Structure formats: structure tokens, C-alpha cells
Chains A and B, each alone.
Chain A
Amino acid sequence: MSRLLLLLDKPNAHHQTARAQQLHRLHRRAMRSLLTALMVVLVGNGIVGAATVVAQEPPPRVLFARDILPVLSANCFACHGYDEAARQADLRLDLEDLAKSEQGEGIPVVAGDPERSTLWQRIASDDSDLVMPPPDTHKALTDEEKETVRLWIEQGAPWQQHWAFAPVERPEGNLDDQVARRLAQAGLELHSPAAPQVLIRRLYLDLTGLPPSVEVADAFARDPSPEHYARIVDELLESPRFGEHWARMWLDLARYADTKGYEKDLGRTMWPYRDWVVTAFNQDMPLDQFTVEQLAGDLLPEPTIEQRVATAFHRNTMANDEGGTDDEEFRIAAVKDRIDTTVQVWMGLTLGCAKCHSHKYDPISQADYYRFYALFNQTADADRYDDGPLMDVVSAAQQARRAELTAEVTRRQAELDEQLAESLTLEQQGPWRLPRFDRLTAASEAKLEVDAQGAIQVSGDSPPEDVYTLELTLPPGTYRVIRLEALTHAVGNGVIGLGRNPQDPNFVVSEFTVERLGDEPESLALEEPRADFSQSGWPVSAAIDGDPKTGWAVSPRPNERHQALFNLASPLEVTAPTTLRVTIAQHYGNRLVLGRFRITTSGEDPSRLTPDSESESVAQARAALQETREQLNQLNASVPRLPVMQELPTARQRETRIHVRGNFLEPGEVVEPSVLPAFHALPEGAPLNRLGVAMWLVADENPLTPRVWANRIWARVMGRGIVETEEDFGALGSAPTNVDLLNWLAAEYREQGWSLKRFLKQIVLSRTYQQSSVPSPQALAIDPANELYSRGPRFRLSAEAVRDQALAVSGLLSLKVGGPSVMPPQPDGLWRSTYNGQSWIDAEGEDRYRRALYTFLKRTTPYPSFTIFDGGSGEVCMIRRIRTNTPLQSLVTLNDPVYLEASAALAGRMIDAANTPEDRAAWGLRTALVRPLRDGEAAPLVALYEAARARFVESPDDARALIATCRGTGSQEPPEELAAWIVVASTILNLDEFLSRR
């Protein structure tokens, strides 16, 4: 029997046209289904026979869900299925009652009677006008498929639900029983366990993405008891490294990135969400809660900060900031992406096609799609440049510090106010006198008011330029000097300064003029202007030079009080109250106008009056306040502002219409929100919004969520899913290779309270997981792709694990958790995006060697060494990574600075660890591979060391150059020695076994 399967699996050596290949595969698949079914019978009867025996057995039982539904889905449903618009001849084959009743020219399926069934007649027809599917569809049934259909009708045409939509029922037995039973059907059994150190390395890499130390592995080898193993499992599940590793799995699905995508691809602060995911995995948040918080955390009663952070999940959608784009177009694209992602991630179904027309294979109409869309169409985000709504993600420490600083600012402000009041009062008792103000006006709408200190405060309208006109009355006396004081005030945004623009609280007094008002206004000449401080190029003399383009300004000291004194060219002697008009013209623009100022006069001898700088105590109080304010500003600026979901208020909720042919510019009929009607109903009491959707996804009645998730987690650990098309559990997806195993896992995951840690523990404790990855010849022949899990899987590590492992064994890896994404070295000149000022600056120090999870991900230019190893760009939801094996990958691990620096660090460790070349090579190899070495295994490394060393002795410049490139300087070793070990270490980091998990 195994020979037979082998025969089937052997590829056709001939080069065929695509069409022929397709036919060949259809044939193979149909045959394989039948044969598998057959084998069950045979094995059950204890008969193991050759092909000739097979032919004599009664025809095998055809199973609708396995053998027929896929054929109908692929060949018939496009025109005779769910999509009303595309339906031909008013004939429907996707529903049992319709398929078995009179439709058009006859009854498609007459149970037990193929000849009377129009389905059979049409697929079997030789007439090109009658045969189905019509030749122009480029579809055709193979003879085997036709025969299977005929057999099925003959056997009574029993109908079955698509397997994935049937309720989850847990089969008898434990996990290993499910695998063993399926293996037995194929004539195989569970394999022997992996060697202890191999198993421990596998376990570490699967649970944490990092390798174990040799010591831990050896300790287990000394005591390989199940208890010891379970203890290690528990330790790993509790390690903070666990969440970092499993978060990456989720971030692919969540299309996480650090930029917004499209043309500008500007940065976006998403890392608080990434840290939330890590924490959720580390805390083993149950899947139902994980679902609800991310889809609708904001709709929970009194949501916590964390629950709102979780909703950033669906703000990972891209935004287009390109000039001239229609925000609504890209808002809609984002909403559709949320729906696609949600349904794919939880239900394993694709809704993509239902945007434009009803789904042809799965029971989802276009109207269903837009009803579902209506539930997601009510959030406030709208592809705006600011990416709003945003939330400040304040940590507890930041919150405490902020309160502290705010109190400090208040205290220091009060101190300063006190000092200022005192100084102003003191001055008034000196030579200066306040006039009485009669009228204060501004050319703009700004308001001018006198306060208790006689200062004039400007408020209200804030134009680019302004002219203040002050009419003041002088009591009888002699007046020789006029003083203008620019006073500090709260400009806005926490800035203290003189002007009115918080970005630049400077002022420019273009012209300062004084007139005596009488029957005829008389201009009073001013002279000897002097100020305590003037900006370079903007002297106080310019304020009275008659040129409105010049003036007096005070940068870089616009945050403290300044004074300007002007002598009256002829002293003013008044005997009766006299009115003056002071005009302060400020024409510079950019709102560089006085915000608070004072006018005083004096009759003293001008030569005795000088402009005072601010008193020492005021200056100190001001500096202290400024410093605290800056700290507060820095703190506030460091608080990440995260895009989150926020529901529109009821009154502003959007009406949803069908988009005809998927085009939002062609609105169709209005639809009411609803979950997908082909599946279970909204749980009782669930609201009709995103929260309801989340509850619906994790409801007990939903068979898809547990199957899809169990399959996904299994695939991450076992190398491939039981359903290989992890993204498609619909009619066109691939069939499970072991449906009992999948059902068992799905039931287990849900019944264990959706705990990932408990679920993973079940898996890694199983015999199935612990099997050796070295296949028996029999397993290799019967189960070459390990679809039945006849051995432990061996596969190349993920992009992230490849990097993290190299850094770990070399001792460079930083275990710093969380925070903003970092920029480890990447080749120069990669970021050349259009109109984007951001740049990549290679990190130094710890951030150079963080876990791959923390690497900045720019959507249009993802970190190259990760994409070369099949990592995603975060543009759209990535359900699984297709593993490839390419020369570009070899170039990364050979030449990327990360691996070169790891080589130098590992070389250093090897030199430190032992004294002879043999011991050093063995130590390095063992550290990387963890398992005990075979006899002579390190010998090629020693030979390489000797060859490399000889070469470097000849060319010491090369040795030094290599050491410098690999950042190996600082070692006391002779250069040829260190360089040779770098070559050896790099060799170790490039070994297939090192790059693989086995």
C-alpha cells in the first residue's frame, strides 16, 4: 500500500503544459481521496493488498464534504451558487433541497439514480454545447471526478455541511491518539523521541525564539524525566521572552508597522500597541478577552488605558498622506481592510471578493458584506494627516512624574509672581511714575487692559502685526524720560515670554512715537534711546528712526523683562493735566508683537536713569520656573500618542450603502448593520456594534474561531498547519490532513479557557511534538512533507529568530523590553522615499542588538534582512509566511553587519572559553548547536582556522580590516588569531543546522 501512495506522489517527470499538470493533479487528488477512504476500509479489515486487490473491492464510500463539495465549489458554484447576480439558468446547486428538486430542465441530483440526474448528464456530456462547465470557462472535471460524482449519486447523494462549518466535537482520546490513529491508517506510527539536548533547543526556540544554554540542555540530558521537562516548559512559558516571541506571530496578522504606508509613509507611533501585545501574551490573556479588547476595547464600560491601547489593532491600517488624495477613499480602504483582516484572522474566510459581488464559493453575499461593513463604519478615524483619534499613553511612572512637575510649576509660578509684584511695586516708589490711561486701542481686534501693576495686558485677536495706540494723562510736573517696559506673561503652550507667538515670544517695536494732544497734535521728538538689551541688528535706536522696516527686538532673550528709555528732546513742563498719545507700531509680522508692557515716565535727570536689567532674584525665580516647565514639556513630548479606535456619537454615525462593484463613488442601496447571516446569530444581549462582533467571533456557537486558531498555533510549532491554507477554511481551502486532530485541538483550546499557555503546554508535552525530526525511510516515503506528523518537523527559523539566535549565542543580545522601535544597522541609502524627511540612523550601544521584534518597520522599505527571510512589510494582514531558501539569505548571514559583529563576539567567547584550537572550535560549535558533538565534528573548523590563520599571517592588513569591520577591536589577541576565529565563528553561524529548528 505504501508503494501505491509512493507511486501517486511521484512527480511526473515529463514537462507538461500547465493545463496537463492541472489535470494530472486533479486526478491525483481525486484518486488520493478515494484511496485514502479505501485504505480505511482495508486497514480496518486487516487487509493489506496490492493495487490489483483494490480494483476488486466494492467502490469506496464517497464523502460529500471531502470528495464532492470541493469539485462543485471549484467548477459549478461560480454560476450555480450563492451569487444571485452571476447565477446562470436560474439553477442553484449549493443547497441540498434545491439541488434535489425540479429546476429548469430537470432535477440536478436524483438520489440513487445518476442517469436521471441532470448534473450527471451535463458533466458527462460529450456535446460541447451541453457539457458543464462550458469549455470557455477553462474549467473541466477529470474523468475521476466525474466518476466520483456518479458514485456519490448512486450511493444516495448524502449531503454534508462543509467540514469547517460543522460544530466542533472532540474525538475520543488524547492528542497523540489522534495523530497515531491517522498515522496507522497510512501504515506508520509515532516516531521515537528526539535526543534530550535537541528537544530542549527545539522547545526554547518554539516557546521563546531564543536558544538554550548548553548547561540547561545538559542538565536535562542528565535528568530527562517528564517532570524535569514539564518544569522547563513552565519556566519558558513564564519567561518574558515568551511574549516577545509569540507577539511576532500576532503582529504579522495585525499588520503592525511603524509607519503609515503609501507614498509619504510617515512615521506613526504604534509601539505602545506592540508592547500591549507582548504583555497580553506574557500574561496569557485568554483569546476571547484578547479578541474583545482589540476589536472593541473602547466600547467596554469604563475602559482602562490598556483596553483602549488594544484598539490600536485596527488602527494599523494604512493611511495615505499623498497630496491631492481623497481622504474618504482611503478611510473606506482602511475600513475594508479591517473587515478582511477580522474575518480572515478569526474565521479563516476571505471576504475580498464580496466587496464587488457576492461570494461564489462561501455563503456571503455582497449585501452581507456591507451589512458587516456597517458595523465597522462608525469610527472617528478618517485618513486624516494627524492620524486622529489619538490617545496619550501615559505610563504610571510618567503620570506620577507629571503630577510632581505640575505641582512644581504651580509653586514656582507663584514664587515668580510674588517676586515680580514686589519688584514692580518697589520701582514705583523710585523715580518712575505711572500715567493715567484714558484710551487703549489696537489696530487689530486685540484687547488692551491695564492691570493692578499698571501694566497693559494684550489679549484676544492675535494678528501677525499690530499698532497699539495709548492715550494717557499726565498730572502737572516736569517730564524728561519715557520708559517702555516689555513684561513677561503666559504666551500660551506653557511658554513665558514677551510677545504673543508661543513659537517665538519675541517682539519687534518698529516705531515708538509720542505726541502731545491739543488742538493740533504735536509730535514730541525723542533722543538718546537706550535699552538693557537689544537683539543683534535690531537696536533700540531703530524704534525711533522713522523706518517701519527696522525696529527694536530682544532675541535670544525674549523670556525676561526688558526696558527701553527715551529722552524727550525738550523736557515737558505741564501745569495742567496734559494728554499724550503713545503709538507703538509693530510691523514685523509672525505675531511678533508685545503681549504685556508698561509705560512710565520720569522727571529726573536723564543721565541718572539707566535701563535696568531684571533683578537677580526675579531672574532666578524665572529660570527655576523655566527649567521645570521644560522638564514638563519634555515629559509631555515623550508621552506616545497612539492612534486608537473611537466610536462616533450616535448622531454622527454614518449611513452605509453598498458600493456598486466595490466602488465607493457608486453608492447603492442603504444597508442595516448585521453580522454574517450564514453563520450563528449575534449572542444574546450583545450590542450591534464592534463589541457585538467581537463577542460573536468568540461565541461558543462559532466553530471557525477555535479551528482557525488551533490550526494556526499548531502550524507555528509543527511547521505546517493541519489545514495548510491557514488563511482559507472555506470551500476552496485545502482539506485538513487529520480532521480529528484539528477538532481535538480546537476543542481543547476553547475548553481550556482559551489559554494559549495551557494549550501550548499540551502540545509540547505530547509525544507527537517530542518526536525526532530524523525521519525513518518509511516515513519519508509515505509522508514526505510530514503532513501527517510522522516525525518532529525540521524547518528554517523565522527571520526574527535567525537574527536573535545569532546575537544570543554571541552574547551580544540585549534583553531590554519594549519602548520605541530601534534602528540596527542596515545598508546606506535604502530610505529614499518621496517627500519624507525621516532617516535611518544606525543605533549604537544596546539598541544595536535588541530583539528583532523591536526593529523599526517602515512599510515601503522594510528592514531588508527580514524580508529576505520572508518577513512581511506590515502593509496587509499576513496569515502565514511561505518559507523560502534563497542565495540572498546566504548573503545576509554571511555579510550583514549584524552577523559579522556576532561572529566577532562569538570568536571572542571561543577564545576566552578554551586554549587549544580544537577546544575553541568545539566550544563554539557546541554553543551554537547545543547538542553534544559527534566524533571529529569540529575538525573541519579547526582546519579552517589553520588555513585562515595562515592567510592572515601573510596579510595582516586583511586581519585588521576584518576585525575592524566586525567591530572586534579591543581584544588583546594577535590580529591573525582573532580574525581566523571570526571566520570560524561566521562559519558556525551559517550552518544549516544552526539556522534550522529540528
Chain B
Amino acid sequence: MRKAMEEMRLKAIQQATRRQFFRAGGLSLGAIALSQLVGASTPTRADDHPLAAREPMLPARAKRVIYLHMAGSPSQLEMFDDKPELRRLHMQDAPASFLEGKRFAFIKGVPKVLASQATFSRHGESGQTISDWLPRLAEQVDKLCVIRTVHTDQFNHAPAQLFVQTGSPRLGSPSLGSWVTYGLGSENQDLPGFVVLLSGGKTPDAGKSLWGAGFLPSVYQGVQCRTDGDPVLYLSNPAGMSRELRRRMLDTVAEMNMAEHEVSHDAETLTRISQYELAYRMQMAVPEVMDLSREPQHVLDLYGAQPGFVSAAESASDPRVLYKGDDPTFANNCLLARRLLEQGVRFVQLYDWGWDHHGSSLGESIDETLPIKCQQIDRAISGLLVDLEQRGLLEDTLIVWGGEFGRTPMMQNNVRTELQKGYIGRDHHPFAYTMFMAGAGIPGGMSYGETDEFGYYPVDKPVGIRDLQATILHQLGIDPYRFHYTYQGLDNRLIGPTDEGRVLFES
């Protein structure tokens, strides 16, 4: 019977303005002045719009989310989780306990233990250990809650990315961002409520399903904003169609649609009129928000951003060999994320590809590629944290950083068994890895959980993907256990069918 609730919601989406019709008391809708419906400057905030902002179910710490996903999975052992024991056992055969009953993607036989290729130091008042490859982020360490014990049950990229982003390793479930915009709507109707930005030259392994709406209505799917070409697909008018002429044309469309509505009385027609107006405003609003040149130089410098920069890696068939430490693409995306959030976008998802450091071919090594990738994100993320704080946005913006799994304490050995510069790699490791959260009531300057001396398993406070998802929803004021969508007879939840997911920080 809870079904009724979702059906009502669906109806609201399908007949968005029907209720408006009733509110008008059954009067002829022709009586509603056209200008009220098509007024160019008033944002549409009808309560019945599917993306209208909604109050959360519970008190919320976070109003918006920026999720930084490093596709391919960064090595926790070079970035956050320092393990001296690995240095001691460097290049010795991995203990049998590492291997028994395990499935690996590429490791064969008995691999060697691999010491961290980075050095670590303590930083901030909290004295947290962080890699020397992340010097600027280290300065912000008191803002971070570093979760060292995340574990997943998927060890291939596409299923693992889907699992963390949609709650299911198979395709067809809504993404986190879709769930959140379904639950909370968006504050700005001139922009998409859920925006996705890509860098690293490739779409993440699981493709656009990672920001798909799954079984939720398609209005909740993420909209990929591109930094090259049309920022939103089909946003630009064709050459020769000036904005004034477009306005003139849309006036005619609206006028004729109103006339049609007087005949048909179909509320959908009114919705369509307002959607054309929204589209028109998006044509202005999206390029504006995507235009980094509007930012002052000191802000650009804070992130290391460069307006208009298009990296060669973004269109290369193998971008990895073209990675450069000063490539500002990711930094640009971080700054764009802030601009979008500032404008009321609910959820911004960044995917940075190129973190799969197996060491089996050029451009994917722990020793040479990972430091470059660290450099690309170090200034950008620390800049984002500082900028959000300065603007007072950090206290209600949730930041999540991480990959889809971690990397093994052993060196990958299917191609090379000896250390070779530029070819040192680690395989996929689902049992324990590091993510961090910041902002929006997340306790900063702390480590959550602890791994064993090899960084192989959690020994204290393991954090499952379900816990992570429950926590994100909870921070947003959404009860992760009750928040569901009935589809095909199941009450589908982001956190899956069981209640195993726990909220990490009860506030």
C-alpha cells in the first residue's frame, strides 16, 4: 500500500500541472495571463515540479553534495594509509594469508609485498598522517575525516563503480545523485539538479549508467556538463539563430500552445510551455555558470584552474601517456562544481579517470603515474576546501572523495615480477581502502577505522559501501532506511534490501 505514495509521485511528474489546474478552481486556463506562465525572469518554483526543492525528512547537516570519484581506484597505500611493515617485507613473498581463497583480477601465483612508493608525514593539529605526494591537501587535513577501512564486495571496475554509485553492482539502479535529487529536488530550476563533470580523458568504466536514473523517472538522471563543446547537449542555438530571434520564436510557440490548451485543457501543455521557458533560461544560465573566466585570478590560482584550457589528454585514445601534473582539467571541474553548488545545484559528481595503476603498461604505474595524478588533484581539492570555507559553504556542503576499491599491498606480477621504473603496480583490493569526507557536520581532523599492519583488512570500524551510502543520505536529512522507491514490486532503497548499512556519524 505504500505503493500509493510512489504512484502519486509519478502522477505528479506525469501531470505536473494538473494540480495547478485544480487550484485554479476549474477556471478556464485561458484566464491565466500568458505572462505569468512565460515570464522570463521569474524562476519556476511550483511545488509540483518534479525537481522543485523539497524539505528533507530529518534535520539536515548537508544541503548539497560534491562527490569526487577517482575512477580506476587510487592506492590508499601511497596516499593515506602508511604501513611501515610493508617496507620491512618489501619484495618478499606475500604471506599465505593474503592469498588463500581470494580472487584477484590479475595477480597470479605468489606475488611480492610492495613497500609504499611515497613517504608520509604528520600534519595539522590533528597530526594525521598523509602522503608527501599531497602537500597542499595535507595543509587541510584538519577538515578531513579520513576513513581508512572502506570495503566493498566487487573487484572489477564497472561493477564496483556501480555498487558504490548506485547500490547495485548490476546496471539499472538509480545513481546516488538521482536518489538525492529525487528526494530533495533542486534549488535552482534554471540549472540541472544533478550535474556530472568528467576529466582524465575517458568516461568511467561503467559508463553513463553511473549517473543514470535507473528505475526512477528520467528527470532525475545526471546531466553531464561538458567543458568542451555544448556544456549541455543541444544547448546552443544553431548558427544564425540569435537569442532575440529564438525569443521571438518561443513566444510564438507559447502563444500557439496556449491556444491549444484552451481547446485541450491538458495540463501537460502548460507544463510544456514552462519547460520551453526553462530551456530558454538554461541556455543563458548554464554557459554563465560554466564560464570560469568570470572568476578572479586569485580564485583560479587557489584551485590551479585555467579558463578555457582543453587538455590533449581529453581527446586522446590513450590519455594516460599524456598526463601532466599541471593539467588543470580536474581543477577546472572542482571550481565549476563550486560555481554550480553556489547556484543551487543539489549534487555535483566529478569523475576523474586514470587511477588504475596496475603497472602493466605505460602511464599506469604507482611510481610514476600516481604522483602525477596526485599533483592534478592536490591543489584542486585543497583549493575547493578553502574556497568553500571562505564562502561559508563548507558547513552545509558534503564532500566525498574516493575510488571504487583500493589496491593490494602486493605488487602486481602478471607482466613483470621485478621492480622496474614506471612499471610498478598494484592490483585491485576490495577488502580495505581509504576514502575521505569533509564538510557538512562531518568531524574533521580524524581518522575513522584502522587497518592491519599490511593495510590488508580493517581491524577496527570497518565501513561498508552501505554504511557510506547511509551516511551520505543521513547527512542530507534523508532517512536511509525509509527512503525508497517502489519498482517492480520491491521497495528499492539506495542502501539495498537489508538494514546492514549504518550511519557513521550520528548527529
Contacts and interface: CB of A to CB of B under 8 A. Distances in A.
A796 B207 contact: no
Interface string A853-871: 0000001111011011010
Given A941-B252, A992-B268, 7 more contacts: A263-B158, A727-B489, A728-B488, A890-B275, A943-B252, A958-B239, A996-B266
Contacts of A868: 218, 233
Contacts of A356: 497
Contacts of A773: 264, 266
Interface stretch (A95-103, A301-309, A873-881): A873-881
B489 A361 contact: yes
Contacts of B447: none
Shortest 7 CB-CB distances between A and B: which pairs? A860-B207, A324-B105, A962-B240, A961-B240, A350-B489, A890-B279, A887-B278
Contact of A894 (B4, B228, B234): B234
Nearest to A983: B249
B309 interface: no
Interface string A567-605: 000000000000000000000000000000000000000
A795 B237 CA distance: 27
A829 B229 contact: yes
Contacts, number: 300
Contact of B234 (A349, A728, A891): A891
The range of chain B's interface size is 35 or more
A963 interface: yes
Interface in A946-969: 947-948, 951, 955, 957-966
Given A322-B156, A350-B488, A774-B264, A785 B11 contact: yes
Contacts of B230: 827
Contacts of B228: 829
B497 A992 contact: no
Nearest to A990: B253
B390 interface: no
Contacts of A941: 252, 256
Interface in B299-320: 315, 317
A882 B10 contact: yes
Given A322-B205, A990-B253, A775 B229 contact: no
27 contacts: A11-B19, A25-B4, A26-B1, A318-B171, A322-B156, A325-B105, A325-B156, A326-B103, A349-B489, A725-B7, A773-B264, A774-B263, A794-B264, A834-B202, A837-B317, A860-B207, A860-B209, A861-B203, A870-B218, A879-B488, A882-B14, A884-B218, A896-B234, A957-B240, A959-B240, A964-B240, A992-B273
B57 A781 contact: no
Contacts of B490: 350, 352-353
Interface stretch (A606-614, A730-738, A808-816): A730-738
Interface in B325-358: 353
Nearest to B103: A326
Interface string B2-45: 11110110110111101101100010000000000000000000
Interface string B47-59: 1001000010100
B117 interface: no
Nearest to B153: A663
A978 B8 CA distance: 47
A17 B233 contact: no
Given A833-B203, A965-B238, A996 B218 contact: no
Given A352-B490, A940-B255, A885 B203 contact: no
Interface centre among B170, B208, B218, B255 (most CB of A within 10 A): B218
A129 interface: no
Interface string A681-693: 0000000000000
A29 B218 contact: no
Contacts of B459: none
A634 interface: no
Nearest to B272: A992
B236 A895 contact: yes
A733 B50 CA distance: 23
A22 interface: yes
B245 interface: yes
B460 interface: no
Contact of B275 (A320, A361, A732, A887): A887
Contacts of A987: 249, 252-253, 256
A138 interface: yes
A991 interface: yes
A328 B248 CA distance: 59
A947 B242 CA distance: 13
B209 A873 contact: yes
The range of chain A's interface size is 35 or more
A10 interface: yes
Contacts of B217: 882, 884
Contact of A891 (B4, B14, B279): B279
Nearest to B58: A17
A344 B240 contact: no
B282 interface: yes
Contact of B276 (A884, A890, A957): A890
Contact of B233 (A827, A837, A944): A827
B233 A860 contact: no
A36 B22 CA distance: 22
A403 interface: no
Given A834-B205, A873-B209, A963 B240 contact: yes
B428 A948 contact: no
A165 to B, nearest CB: 14
Nearest to A138: B482
B252 A324 contact: no
B219 interface: yes
A775 B7 CA distance: 23
Contacts of A964: 239-240
Contacts of B275: 885-887, 889-890
A883 interface: yes
A784 interface: yes
Contact of A944 (B158, B252, B272): B252
B372 interface: no
A322 B157 contact: yes
B160 to A, nearest CB: 10
B232 A891 contact: yes
A326 B497 CA distance: 25
Contact of B257 (A794, A796, A864, A992): A992
A979 B240 contact: yes
A796 B268 contact: yes
Interface string A4-42: 000000110001011101100110110000000000000
B324 interface: no
Contact of B249 (A780, A832, A986, A995): A986
A887 B276 contact: yes
B271 interface: yes
Given A74-B1, A350-B489, A832-B202, A785 B242 contact: no
Nearest to A340: B488
A867 B218 contact: yes
A627 interface: no
B260 A734 contact: no
Contact of B203 (A19, A860, A947): A860
B373 to A, nearest CB: 16
Nearest to B260: A993
B91 interface: no
Contacts of A943: 252
A868 B219 CA distance: 8
B481 A833 contact: no
A832 B203 contact: yes
Given A17-B57, A349-B489, A733-B3, A781 B26 contact: yes
Given A891-B279, A979-B240, A983-B241, A725 B219 contact: no
Nearest to A947: B248
B99 to A, nearest CB: 16
A673 interface: no
A318 B278 CA distance: 37
Interface string B247-291: 011001101110111011110110111011011001100000000
B3 A891 contact: no
